[in-house]
Amino acid sequence: MDMDMFIWAAPDRNIERRLDITISRVADAIELMSDEARKELAGKPWFAAICILQRVRAMERGEEDVLGHPIKGGLAETYDAVVTPGEDIIPALLKTFQAHLK
């Protein structure tokens, strides 16, 4: 998988939702990795799910900007419902992805 799949859509925006903060932290960590470490990460079987989650959330944020309010039933609400503060980031994102698909 190409690392270009994981690009934070709007890094200059005010980030308030817990999910957006988590995605931003993952993006920051990936940016600090060496090229070799990024290639290894991209080969992980779960990484595609994280990229899809990030892209869908970016689309939701765009819709929220247009509507002027948070989306009901969106990924951020799912994250808030299934993830306890302090959980490990990657498992928390995967749990969100899985719960949202149900």
In a domain, 73, yes or no: yes
Token pair of 88 as six digits: 């490990």
Question: For residue 2, is it within any domain?
Answer: no
Residue 6 lies in a domain: no
At 71 the three-state DSSP class reads coil
35-84 per-position pLDDT tens digit: 999 999 999 999 999 999 999 999 999 999 999 999 999 999 999 999 99
The answer to whether residue 60 is domain-embedded is yes
Nearest to 50 by CA among 22, 13, 70: 22
Query: Is residue 5's pLDDT more than 80?
Result: no
State mean pLDDT over 3-7: 52
- Residue 36: other Cβ atoms inside 10 A: 8
Q: What is the DSSP string of 17-75?
A: SHHHHHHHHHHHHHHHS-HHHHHHHHTSTTHHHHHHHHHHHHHHHHHHHHHTSPPTT-H
Q: According to the model, what pLDDT value does residue 93 have? A: 95
**Residue at 50 is within a domain:** yes
Which pLDDT band, with edges at 50, 70 and 90, does 16 fall under?
confident
> Structurally, how many domains does the chain consist of?
1
pLDDT category of residue 4 using cuts at 50, 70 and 90: low
Tell me whether residue 42 is in a domain.
yes
pTM: 0.82
Q: Are 19 and 76 in contact (CB under 8 A)?
A: yes
Domain membership of residue 83 as a residue range: 16-101
